[in-house]
Protein backbone atom coordinates (compact mmCIF):
# COMPACT_ATOMS: atom_id res chain seq x y z
CA UNK A 1 0.00 0.00 0.00
CA UNK A 2 1.30 3.45 -0.85
CA UNK A 3 -0.34 6.85 -0.96
CA UNK A 4 1.47 8.95 -3.51
CA UNK A 5 1.23 12.58 -4.57
CA UNK A 6 2.17 13.53 -8.15
CA UNK A 7 3.00 17.22 -8.55
CA UNK A 8 4.33 19.49 -11.28
CA UNK A 9 7.80 20.80 -10.45
CA UNK A 10 7.72 23.77 -12.85
CA UNK A 11 4.98 26.06 -14.22
CA UNK A 12 2.52 23.31 -15.14
CA UNK A 13 2.24 21.31 -18.39
CA UNK A 14 5.11 19.04 -17.28
CA UNK A 15 3.38 15.94 -18.66
CA UNK A 16 1.75 14.93 -15.37
CA UNK A 17 -1.16 13.42 -17.34
CA UNK A 18 1.03 10.71 -18.85
CA UNK A 19 2.79 9.96 -15.56
CA UNK A 20 -0.51 9.86 -13.67
CA UNK A 21 -1.93 7.58 -16.33
CA UNK A 22 1.04 5.21 -15.95
CA UNK A 23 0.79 5.18 -12.17
CA UNK A 24 -3.02 4.91 -12.20
CA UNK A 25 -2.58 1.31 -13.29
CA UNK A 26 -1.47 0.40 -9.78
CA UNK A 27 -3.78 2.84 -7.99
CA UNK A 28 -7.15 1.90 -6.54
CA UNK A 29 -8.17 5.52 -6.11
CA UNK A 30 -7.08 8.68 -7.99
CA UNK A 31 -7.84 12.03 -6.35
CA UNK A 32 -7.60 15.39 -8.08
CA UNK A 33 -7.06 17.81 -5.19
CA UNK A 34 -7.06 21.39 -6.54
CA UNK A 35 -7.64 23.62 -9.55
CA UNK A 36 -10.52 23.41 -11.97
CA UNK A 37 -11.19 23.53 -15.69
CA UNK A 38 -7.99 25.58 -16.14
CA UNK A 39 -6.05 22.30 -16.24
CA UNK A 40 -6.01 20.07 -19.26
CA UNK A 41 -4.71 16.69 -20.22
CA UNK A 42 -5.08 14.71 -23.37
CA UNK A 43 -6.01 11.05 -23.30
CA UNK A 44 -6.35 8.62 -26.14
CA UNK A 45 -9.35 6.30 -25.75
CA UNK A 46 -10.91 3.93 -28.33
CA UNK A 47 -8.58 5.47 -30.92
CA UNK A 48 -9.94 8.95 -30.19
CA UNK A 49 -8.06 11.85 -28.63
CA UNK A 50 -9.95 13.42 -25.73
CA UNK A 51 -9.06 16.60 -23.91
CA UNK A 52 -10.14 16.45 -20.29
CA UNK A 53 -10.03 19.34 -17.83
CA UNK A 54 -11.70 18.07 -14.69
CA UNK A 55 -11.97 14.30 -14.90
CA UNK A 56 -8.78 12.51 -13.75
CA UNK A 57 -7.08 10.39 -16.41
CA UNK A 58 -7.62 7.31 -14.18
CA UNK A 59 -11.19 7.28 -15.58
CA UNK A 60 -10.02 4.86 -18.27
CA UNK A 61 -9.52 2.19 -15.59
CA UNK A 62 -13.05 1.09 -14.59
CA UNK A 63 -11.83 -0.46 -11.35
CA UNK A 64 -10.19 2.81 -10.21
CA UNK A 65 -12.25 5.26 -8.20
CA UNK A 66 -11.68 8.77 -9.57
CA UNK A 67 -12.42 11.52 -7.08
CA UNK A 68 -12.67 15.24 -7.80
CA UNK A 69 -11.70 16.46 -4.35
CA UNK A 70 -12.79 19.21 -1.97
CA UNK A 71 -9.98 21.58 -2.97
CA UNK A 72 -11.12 21.76 -6.59
CA UNK A 73 -13.49 24.19 -8.27
CA UNK A 74 -15.95 22.53 -10.63
CA UNK A 75 -17.55 24.01 -13.70
CA UNK A 76 -20.54 21.64 -14.03
CA UNK A 77 -21.13 22.48 -17.67
CA UNK A 78 -17.59 21.46 -18.62
CA UNK A 79 -17.70 18.39 -16.37
CA UNK A 80 -20.94 17.18 -17.97
CA UNK A 81 -19.52 17.75 -21.48
CA UNK A 82 -16.57 15.54 -20.49
CA UNK A 83 -18.90 12.85 -19.11
CA UNK A 84 -20.94 12.97 -22.33
CA UNK A 85 -17.87 12.52 -24.49
CA UNK A 86 -16.68 9.53 -22.45
CA UNK A 87 -20.13 7.95 -22.42
CA UNK A 88 -20.43 8.39 -26.20
CA UNK A 89 -17.31 6.19 -26.43
CA UNK A 90 -18.94 3.70 -24.04
CA UNK A 91 -16.33 4.39 -21.38
CA UNK A 92 -17.91 3.80 -17.96
CA UNK A 93 -18.11 6.91 -15.77
CA UNK A 94 -19.95 5.66 -12.69
CA UNK A 95 -16.61 5.39 -10.87
CA UNK A 96 -16.25 9.18 -11.03
CA UNK A 97 -16.95 10.68 -7.61
CA UNK A 98 -17.31 14.35 -6.70
CA UNK A 99 -16.66 15.90 -3.33
CA UNK A 100 -19.68 17.59 -1.80
CA UNK A 101 -17.48 20.40 -0.51
CA UNK A 102 -15.85 21.36 -3.82
CA UNK A 103 -16.85 24.82 -5.04
CA UNK A 104 -18.86 25.53 -8.18
CA UNK A 105 -17.71 27.86 -10.95
CA UNK A 106 -20.65 29.98 -12.08
CA UNK A 107 -21.17 32.08 -15.23
CA UNK A 108 -20.38 35.27 -13.28
CA UNK A 109 -16.99 33.85 -12.31
CA UNK A 110 -16.02 33.40 -15.95
CA UNK A 111 -17.30 36.87 -16.86
CA UNK A 112 -15.45 38.54 -13.98
CA UNK A 113 -12.24 36.61 -14.74
CA UNK A 114 -12.20 37.87 -18.35
CA UNK A 115 -13.37 41.39 -17.57
CA UNK A 116 -10.85 41.89 -14.77
CA UNK A 117 -8.02 40.64 -16.99
CA UNK A 118 -9.07 43.19 -19.59
CA UNK A 119 -9.10 45.96 -17.00
CA UNK A 120 -5.64 45.03 -15.74
CA UNK A 121 -4.22 45.77 -19.20
CA UNK A 122 -0.43 45.37 -19.11
CA UNK A 123 -0.71 44.03 -15.54
CA UNK A 124 -2.82 41.09 -16.63
CA UNK A 125 -1.98 37.63 -15.30
CA UNK A 126 -2.74 35.78 -18.51
CA UNK A 127 -5.37 33.52 -16.90
CA UNK A 128 -7.14 30.76 -18.76
CA UNK A 129 -10.40 32.75 -18.53
CA UNK A 130 -12.12 29.77 -16.88
CA UNK A 131 -13.27 31.72 -13.82
CA UNK A 132 -10.77 30.07 -11.48
CA UNK A 133 -9.58 33.13 -9.50
CA UNK A 134 -13.10 34.52 -8.91
CA UNK A 135 -14.40 31.09 -7.79
CA UNK A 136 -11.62 30.72 -5.22
CA UNK A 137 -12.11 34.39 -4.21
CA UNK A 138 -15.76 33.63 -3.38
CA UNK A 139 -14.65 30.56 -1.46
CA UNK A 140 -12.35 32.74 0.70
CA UNK A 141 -14.96 35.47 0.95
CA UNK A 142 -17.44 32.78 2.05
CA UNK A 143 -19.98 33.54 -0.65
CA UNK A 144 -19.17 30.47 -2.73
CA UNK A 145 -21.64 27.83 -3.86
CA UNK A 146 -20.53 24.29 -3.08
CA UNK A 147 -21.54 20.95 -4.59
CA UNK A 148 -23.66 20.27 -1.52
CA UNK A 149 -25.61 23.48 -2.28
CA UNK A 150 -25.87 22.64 -5.97
CA UNK A 151 -27.62 19.34 -5.33
CA UNK A 152 -30.22 20.84 -2.98
CA UNK A 153 -32.77 22.65 -5.21
CA UNK A 154 -34.09 24.88 -2.41
CA UNK A 155 -30.68 25.95 -1.13
CA UNK A 156 -29.37 26.44 -4.67
CA UNK A 157 -32.23 28.73 -5.70
CA UNK A 158 -31.95 30.77 -2.49
CA UNK A 159 -28.18 31.18 -2.57
CA UNK A 160 -27.97 31.80 -6.31
CA UNK A 161 -30.67 34.48 -6.34
CA UNK A 162 -28.91 36.38 -3.57
CA UNK A 163 -25.45 35.97 -5.11
CA UNK A 164 -26.52 36.89 -8.64
CA UNK A 165 -28.19 40.10 -7.39
CA UNK A 166 -24.86 40.99 -5.77
CA UNK A 167 -22.71 39.94 -8.74
CA UNK A 168 -24.95 41.84 -11.15
CA UNK A 169 -24.00 45.04 -9.39
CA UNK A 170 -20.34 44.23 -9.94
CA UNK A 171 -20.91 43.26 -13.56
CA UNK A 172 -22.91 46.38 -14.35
CA UNK A 173 -21.17 49.03 -12.26
CA UNK A 174 -17.58 47.89 -12.38
CA UNK A 175 -17.32 46.16 -15.73
CA UNK A 176 -20.13 47.77 -17.68
CA UNK A 177 -21.58 44.36 -18.57
CA UNK A 178 -25.27 43.37 -18.83
CA UNK A 179 -26.81 41.71 -15.74
CA UNK A 180 -27.36 37.96 -15.58
CA UNK A 181 -30.82 36.38 -15.52
CA UNK A 182 -31.04 34.65 -12.12
CA UNK A 183 -34.07 32.48 -13.02
CA UNK A 184 -32.41 31.12 -16.14
CA UNK A 185 -29.21 30.29 -14.24
CA UNK A 186 -31.10 28.60 -11.39
CA UNK A 187 -32.94 26.42 -13.92
CA UNK A 188 -29.75 25.62 -15.84
CA UNK A 189 -27.81 24.64 -12.71
CA UNK A 190 -30.68 22.57 -11.30
CA UNK A 191 -30.43 20.55 -14.51
CA UNK A 192 -26.67 20.07 -13.94
CA UNK A 193 -27.38 19.05 -10.34
CA UNK A 194 -29.74 16.28 -11.46
CA UNK A 195 -27.03 14.87 -13.70
CA UNK A 196 -24.20 15.08 -11.13
CA UNK A 197 -26.10 14.09 -7.94
CA UNK A 198 -25.39 10.32 -8.24
CA UNK A 199 -21.64 11.02 -8.27
CA UNK A 200 -21.52 13.16 -5.11
CA UNK A 201 -19.78 11.73 -2.01
CA UNK A 202 -18.11 12.74 1.23
CA UNK A 203 -14.63 12.76 -0.28
CA UNK A 204 -12.62 12.90 2.95
CA UNK A 205 -14.51 9.93 4.43
CA UNK A 206 -14.24 7.94 1.21
CA UNK A 207 -10.47 8.48 1.04
CA UNK A 208 -10.02 7.72 4.74
CA UNK A 209 -11.87 4.44 4.33
CA UNK A 210 -9.72 3.59 1.31
CA UNK A 211 -6.58 4.30 3.35
CA UNK A 212 -7.84 2.09 6.17
CA UNK A 213 -8.55 -0.66 3.66
CA UNK A 214 -4.88 -0.31 2.59
CA UNK A 215 -5.77 0.62 -0.98
CA UNK A 216 -3.28 2.52 -3.16
CA UNK A 217 -4.19 6.16 -3.58
CA UNK A 218 -2.76 8.57 -6.10
CA UNK A 219 -3.20 12.28 -5.45
CA UNK A 220 -3.00 14.16 -8.74
CA UNK A 221 -1.89 17.80 -8.69
CA UNK A 222 -2.86 20.15 -11.50
CA UNK A 223 -0.70 23.09 -12.69
CA UNK A 224 2.72 23.24 -11.01
CA UNK A 225 4.79 24.41 -8.03
CA UNK A 226 5.64 27.83 -9.52
CA UNK A 227 1.93 28.49 -10.09
CA UNK A 228 1.11 27.87 -6.43
CA UNK A 229 -0.85 30.70 -4.83
CA UNK A 230 1.42 30.82 -1.76
CA UNK A 231 4.74 29.52 -3.06
CA UNK A 232 4.78 30.38 -6.76
CA UNK A 233 5.70 33.47 -8.75
CA UNK A 234 2.96 35.60 -7.18
CA UNK A 235 0.94 37.36 -8.57
CA UNK A 236 1.49 35.35 -11.79
CA UNK A 237 0.05 32.22 -10.27
CA UNK A 238 -3.19 30.30 -10.13
CA UNK A 239 -5.53 30.61 -7.14
CA UNK A 240 -5.02 27.19 -5.56
CA UNK A 241 -2.20 25.13 -4.03
CA UNK A 242 -0.74 22.67 -6.55
CA UNK A 243 2.15 21.85 -4.16
CA UNK A 244 2.17 18.54 -2.29
CA UNK A 245 0.88 20.19 0.91
CA UNK A 246 -2.27 21.12 -1.03
CA UNK A 247 -3.13 17.43 -1.41
CA UNK A 248 -3.94 17.03 2.29
CA UNK A 249 -6.20 20.08 2.37
CA UNK A 250 -7.77 19.36 -1.01
CA UNK A 251 -8.51 15.71 -0.23
CA UNK A 252 -9.35 16.12 3.45
CA UNK A 253 -6.70 13.85 4.96
CA UNK A 254 -3.76 14.28 7.32
CA UNK A 255 -0.08 14.56 6.28
CA UNK A 256 0.83 11.34 8.11
CA UNK A 257 -1.22 9.43 5.53
CA UNK A 258 1.10 10.33 2.63
CA UNK A 259 3.92 7.95 1.74
CA UNK A 260 5.68 9.54 -1.23
CA UNK A 261 5.84 12.61 -3.41
CA UNK A 262 6.76 12.29 -7.09
CA UNK A 263 7.70 15.45 -8.96
CA UNK A 264 7.28 15.76 -12.72
CA UNK A 265 9.55 18.10 -14.70
CA UNK A 266 10.20 18.57 -18.38
CA UNK A 267 13.79 18.18 -19.61
CA UNK A 268 13.48 21.90 -20.39
CA UNK A 269 11.02 24.51 -19.10
CA UNK A 270 7.78 26.02 -20.40
CA UNK A 271 5.42 28.65 -19.11
CA UNK A 272 2.09 29.88 -20.40
CA UNK A 273 0.68 33.24 -19.36
CA UNK A 274 2.50 36.30 -18.09
CA UNK A 275 5.29 36.59 -15.51
CA UNK A 276 9.08 36.38 -15.23
CA UNK A 277 10.85 33.39 -16.76
CA UNK A 278 14.65 33.70 -16.43
CA UNK A 279 15.63 30.86 -18.78
CA UNK A 280 13.20 31.78 -21.55
CA UNK A 281 14.70 31.31 -25.04
CA UNK A 282 13.79 33.94 -27.61
CA UNK A 283 14.01 33.53 -31.36
CA UNK A 284 14.43 30.47 -33.54
CA UNK A 285 15.59 28.05 -30.87
CA UNK A 286 12.57 28.86 -28.67
CA UNK A 287 10.30 28.35 -31.70
CA UNK A 288 12.06 25.07 -32.48
CA UNK A 289 11.43 23.69 -28.98
CA UNK A 290 7.83 24.88 -29.14
CA UNK A 291 7.29 23.07 -32.47
CA UNK A 292 9.12 19.87 -31.52
CA UNK A 293 7.47 19.71 -28.12
CA UNK A 294 4.01 20.68 -29.51
CA UNK A 295 3.92 23.33 -26.81
CA UNK A 296 0.39 24.62 -27.11
CA UNK A 297 -1.97 24.76 -24.12
CA UNK A 298 -4.63 22.02 -23.88
CA UNK A 299 -7.17 24.42 -22.37
CA UNK A 300 -6.63 27.66 -24.28
CA UNK A 301 -4.51 26.58 -27.26
CA UNK A 302 -2.05 29.35 -26.34
CA UNK A 303 1.56 28.96 -27.39
CA UNK A 304 3.78 28.08 -24.42
CA UNK A 305 6.95 30.06 -23.80
CA UNK A 306 9.99 27.73 -23.89
CA UNK A 307 13.28 27.88 -22.01
CA UNK A 308 16.21 25.87 -20.65
CA UNK A 309 15.96 23.64 -17.60
CA UNK A 310 16.14 25.76 -14.47
CA UNK A 311 17.70 23.85 -11.57
CA UNK A 312 17.17 26.74 -9.14
CA UNK A 313 13.40 26.39 -9.38
CA UNK A 314 13.89 22.62 -9.57
CA UNK A 315 15.65 22.55 -6.18
CA UNK A 316 12.98 24.87 -4.84
CA UNK A 317 10.30 22.43 -6.00
CA UNK A 318 12.15 19.57 -4.28
CA UNK A 319 12.13 21.55 -1.03
CA UNK A 320 8.59 22.92 -1.13
CA UNK A 321 7.08 19.56 -2.02
CA UNK A 322 9.36 17.24 -0.02
CA UNK A 323 9.90 15.41 -3.29
CA UNK A 324 11.13 11.80 -3.09
CA UNK A 325 11.85 11.26 -6.75
CA UNK A 326 11.45 12.80 -10.14
CA UNK A 327 9.93 11.92 -13.51
CA UNK A 328 11.68 13.73 -16.37
CA UNK A 329 9.48 14.12 -19.43
CA UNK A 330 10.03 15.08 -23.08
CA UNK A 331 13.75 14.30 -23.10
CA UNK A 332 13.36 13.44 -26.81
CA UNK A 333 12.47 17.07 -27.61
CA UNK A 334 16.17 17.90 -27.05
CA UNK A 335 17.40 15.09 -29.35
CA UNK A 336 18.68 17.24 -32.20
CA UNK A 337 20.32 20.09 -30.29
CA UNK A 338 24.07 20.69 -30.62
CA UNK A 339 24.33 21.82 -27.04
CA UNK A 340 21.99 22.12 -24.09
CA UNK A 341 22.09 24.71 -21.36
CA UNK A 342 21.07 24.24 -17.76
CA UNK A 343 20.58 27.11 -15.35
CA UNK A 344 22.55 26.26 -12.18
CA UNK A 345 22.19 29.60 -10.33
CA UNK A 346 20.98 33.17 -10.81
CA UNK A 347 22.85 36.41 -10.74
CA UNK A 348 21.05 39.36 -9.12
CA UNK A 349 22.74 42.75 -8.85
CA UNK A 350 26.13 41.14 -9.45
CA UNK A 351 25.62 38.51 -6.72
CA UNK A 352 25.28 34.76 -7.22
CA UNK A 353 22.03 33.39 -5.88
CA UNK A 354 21.20 29.70 -5.51
CA UNK A 355 17.72 30.11 -4.11
CA UNK A 356 14.44 31.13 -5.69
CA UNK A 357 13.58 34.67 -4.51
CA UNK A 358 10.00 35.10 -3.31
CA UNK A 359 9.83 38.72 -4.46
CA UNK A 360 8.47 38.86 -8.04
CA UNK A 361 10.36 42.06 -8.73
CA UNK A 362 13.67 40.47 -7.67
CA UNK A 363 12.83 37.32 -9.60
CA UNK A 364 12.31 39.42 -12.74
CA UNK A 365 15.86 40.73 -12.32
CA UNK A 366 17.46 37.27 -12.06
CA UNK A 367 19.88 36.47 -14.85
CA UNK A 368 20.53 32.74 -15.37
CA UNK A 369 24.02 31.31 -14.85
CA UNK A 370 24.32 28.44 -17.31
CA UNK A 371 26.39 25.32 -17.65
CA UNK A 372 26.46 23.98 -21.18
CA UNK A 373 26.38 20.28 -21.97
CA UNK A 374 26.88 18.66 -25.37
CA UNK A 375 23.77 17.43 -27.20
CA UNK A 376 23.50 13.75 -28.15
CA UNK A 377 22.20 14.36 -31.68
CA UNK A 378 20.43 11.03 -31.86
CA UNK A 379 16.83 9.93 -31.48
CA UNK A 380 15.89 8.67 -28.02
CA UNK A 381 12.22 7.94 -28.77
CA UNK A 382 12.84 4.19 -29.13
CA UNK A 383 14.90 3.83 -25.92
CA UNK A 384 13.32 1.60 -23.29
CA UNK A 385 16.14 1.23 -20.75
CA UNK A 386 18.88 3.51 -19.47
CA UNK A 387 21.38 1.39 -21.38
CA UNK A 388 19.61 2.25 -24.66
CA UNK A 389 20.19 5.98 -24.11
CA UNK A 390 23.09 7.75 -25.80
CA UNK A 391 25.87 8.38 -23.26
CA UNK A 392 25.43 12.15 -23.46
CA UNK A 393 21.69 11.91 -22.79
CA UNK A 394 22.43 9.81 -19.71
CA UNK A 395 25.03 12.38 -18.61
CA UNK A 396 22.42 15.11 -19.01
CA UNK A 397 19.95 13.22 -16.79
CA UNK A 398 22.61 12.53 -14.20
CA UNK A 399 23.53 16.19 -14.17
CA UNK A 400 19.89 17.14 -13.50
CA UNK A 401 19.57 14.56 -10.70
CA UNK A 402 22.76 15.85 -9.12
CA UNK A 403 21.64 19.48 -9.29
CA UNK A 404 18.18 18.70 -7.98
CA UNK A 405 19.57 16.38 -5.28
CA UNK A 406 16.78 13.91 -5.95
CA UNK A 407 16.82 10.65 -7.90
CA UNK A 408 15.12 10.23 -11.25
CA UNK A 409 12.64 7.33 -11.24
CA UNK A 410 11.00 7.75 -14.66
CA UNK A 411 12.16 9.14 -18.01
CA UNK A 412 9.57 9.86 -20.68
CA UNK A 413 10.55 9.96 -24.36
CA UNK A 414 7.27 10.46 -26.18
CA UNK A 415 3.53 10.63 -25.70
CA UNK A 416 2.71 6.94 -25.75
CA UNK A 417 2.78 4.75 -22.66
CA UNK A 418 5.58 2.53 -23.93
CA UNK A 419 7.90 5.48 -24.64
CA UNK A 420 9.00 5.41 -21.04
CA UNK A 421 12.00 4.24 -19.04
CA UNK A 422 11.08 3.12 -15.54
CA UNK A 423 14.37 3.43 -13.68
CA UNK A 424 12.83 2.46 -10.36
CA UNK A 425 9.26 1.74 -9.24
CA UNK A 426 8.33 5.24 -8.06
CA UNK A 427 5.54 3.99 -5.82
CA UNK A 428 7.12 1.05 -4.07
CA UNK A 429 10.80 1.73 -4.68
CA UNK A 430 13.18 2.86 -1.95
CA UNK A 431 12.65 6.25 -0.35
CA UNK A 432 14.83 9.35 -0.44
CA UNK A 433 17.49 7.70 1.63
CA UNK A 434 18.83 6.38 -1.63
CA UNK A 435 21.19 9.30 -1.41
CA UNK A 436 23.05 8.65 1.80
CA UNK A 437 24.53 11.50 3.77
CA UNK A 438 27.91 11.20 2.07
CA UNK A 439 26.24 11.29 -1.32
CA UNK A 440 26.91 7.63 -2.09
CA UNK A 441 23.81 5.90 -3.28
CA UNK A 442 22.56 2.75 -1.67
CA UNK A 443 19.92 1.47 -4.02
CA UNK A 444 19.04 0.40 -7.50
CA UNK A 445 18.26 3.95 -8.53
CA UNK A 446 21.95 4.71 -8.23
CA UNK A 447 22.48 5.12 -11.94
CA UNK A 448 20.47 8.30 -11.90
CA UNK A 449 21.51 9.84 -8.64
CA UNK A 450 25.12 10.95 -8.40
Binding stretches for ligand IMP (CB under 6 A): 12-13, 38-40, 125-128, 130, 132-133, 222-223, 227, 236, 238-239, 272-273
State the nearest-atom distance from the C-beta of 157 to ligand IMP, in Å.
28
Please identify, using beta-carbon distances, which residue of 223 and 241 lies nearer to ligand IMP: 223
Question: What is the Rg, in whole angstroms, of the alpha carbon atoms belonging to the chain?
Answer: 22
Query: 324: buried, middle or exposed (CB in 10 Å: 19+, 13-18, 0-12)?
Result: buried
Q: Please answer whether residues 135 and 152 qualify as being in contact, where contact means their C-beta atoms are separated by less than 8 angstroms.
A: no
Of 21, 41, 199, 231, the active-site residue reads: 41
Please identify, using beta-carbon distances, which residue of 11 and 376 lies nearer to ligand IMP: 11
Please identify, using beta-carbon distances, which residue of 111 and 125 lies nearer to ligand IMP: 125
* Cα atoms found within 13 Å of the Cα of residue 326, Cβ hemisphere only: 27
244 Rama class: left (phi>0) / alpha (psi -120 to 50) / beta: alpha
State the nearest-atom distance from the C-beta of 380 to ligand IMP, in Å.
25
CA–CA distance, 311 with 199 (Å, rounded to integer): 42
Angle at 324 between CA 318 and CA 327, to 5 degrees: 80
State the nearest-atom distance from the C-beta of 298 to ligand IMP, in Å.
7
Known catalytic residue at 13: yes
**300-316: b (≥16 Cβ within 10 Å) or e:** beeebbbbbbbbbbbbb
Angle at 104 between CA 100 and CA 107, to 5 degrees: 160
What residue number has its CB nearest to ligand IMP?
273
Please identify, using beta-carbon distances, which residue of 39 and 311 lies nearer to ligand IMP: 39
Please identify, using beta-carbon distances, which residue of 151 and 227 lies nearer to ligand IMP: 227
State the nearest-atom distance from the C-beta of 78 to ligand IMP, in Å.
13
Known catalytic residue at 84: no
CA–CA distance, 202 with 206 (Å, rounded to integer): 6
State the nearest-atom distance from the C-beta of 396 to ligand IMP, in Å.
24
Three-state secondary structure along 26-81?
CCCEEEECCECCCCCEEEEECCEEEEECCCCHHHHCCCCEEEECCCEEECHHHHHH
Residues labelled catalytic? 13, 41
Amino acid sequence: MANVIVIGAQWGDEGKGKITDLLSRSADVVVRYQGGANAGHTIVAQGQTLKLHLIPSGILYPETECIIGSGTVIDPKILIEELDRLEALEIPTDHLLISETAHITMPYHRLIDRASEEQRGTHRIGTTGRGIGPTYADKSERTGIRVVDLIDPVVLAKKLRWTIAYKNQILEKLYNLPPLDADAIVAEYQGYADRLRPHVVDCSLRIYEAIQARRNILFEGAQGTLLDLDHGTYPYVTSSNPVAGGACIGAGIGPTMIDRVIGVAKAYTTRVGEGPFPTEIDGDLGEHLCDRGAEFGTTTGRKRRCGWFDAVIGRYAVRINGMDCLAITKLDVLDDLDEIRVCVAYEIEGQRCHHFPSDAHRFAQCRPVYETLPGWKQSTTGCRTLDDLPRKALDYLKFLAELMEVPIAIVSLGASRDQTIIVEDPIHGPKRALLSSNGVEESGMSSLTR
